[in-house]
Amino acid sequence: MKKIFSYILLLIVAFSFSGCIINNVPKYDEEVKAAWAQVLNQYKRRADLIPNLISTVKGYAKHEKEVFKEVVEARAKATSMQLPKDILTNPEAFKKFQQVQGELGSALSRLLAVSERYPDLKANQNFLALQSQLEGTENRIAVARRDYINAVKKYNLELRTIPNKWIAHLLYPDAKMKQTFTISQQDMKVPKVDFN
C-alpha cells in the first residue's frame, strides 16, 4: 500500500512539475507567429515607401532608368510573393523569402547611392523625409528580425531540450522546428575599398 502511495505521490509531483512547462510549446509558437507578423509588417512598410521615394528621385535623376527599373521589379517580386502557410518550417520557402527581401534591400541601396550624385536631390525636403522614414524602417526591420530570431530560439530550444522535448513529443506531435534568418556568403564578404 505504501509503495502504491509512493508511486502516486511521485506521479503527482512529476505532473505538477511538468504542468509549469506543459503549455510552453503553444505559447512559444504564438510568440514566433507574432514576431513573424511584425517582420512582415515592417517589410510591408518598406514596400509602401518605395513608390514615393522613386517618384521623388525620378524628378532629379531622369537618366537613372536602370536603377528605377531594378527597384520597381524587386518591389513587385517582394510584394507579389505568395507565402506558403508552412513558411516558418519550410527551409526552401523561407530561404526564397529572405532572398527576395534581400534583393529589394540591395536595389534600394543602389537607389539611395544614386542620390549622392545629385546635390539638389539630397537637399530636397521630400527626399530627406522619405530617406529618413526608409532608414527608420530598415532599423525596425532589423529589430523585428532580431525579435523573431529570439522567439524562434526559445521555441526551438523547447523542442530540443529534455524534459520539454518529451512533453512536446507526447502532447504536440505536430510541432516542428522553425526557420530563422541567416546571412548569405555574399553578404559576409568584406567590401573592397579602393582610394585610387
Calculate Rg over the CA atoms of the chain.
24
What's residue 195's pLDDT?
41
What's residue 193's pLDDT?
45
Q: Which CATH number applies to 25-184?
A: 1.20.1440.20
Predicted confidence (pLDDT) per residue in 38-74, tens digit: 999 999 999 999 998 888 888 888 778 888 889 999 9
Alpha-carbon gap, residue 115 to 121, rounded angstroms: 6
Share of the chain above pLDDT 70, in %: 86
Alpha-carbon gap, residue 90 to 84, rounded angstroms: 9
Alpha-carbon gap, residue 102 to 182, rounded angstroms: 11
Predicted confidence (pLDDT) per residue in 116-138, tens digit: 888 888 788 888 888 899 999 99
DSSP string, 102-133: HHHHHHHHHHHHHHTT-HHHHH-HHHHHHHHH
Question: Contact 155/178 with Cβ under 8 angstroms?
Answer: yes
Q: At what angle do helices 164-171 and 125-160 cross, to 10 degrees?
A: 90
Delimit the domains of the chain by residue range.
25-184
Q: What is the pTM of this model?
A: 0.80
Alpha-carbon gap, residue 171 to 165, rounded angstroms: 10
Residue 152 exposed, middle or buried by CB count within 10 Å (0-12, 13-18, 19+): buried
Predicted confidence (pLDDT) per residue in 68-92, tens digit: 889 999 999 999 999 999 999 999 9
Residue carrying C-alpha cell 528605377? 68
Closest CA to 39 of 138, 178, 155, 134: 138
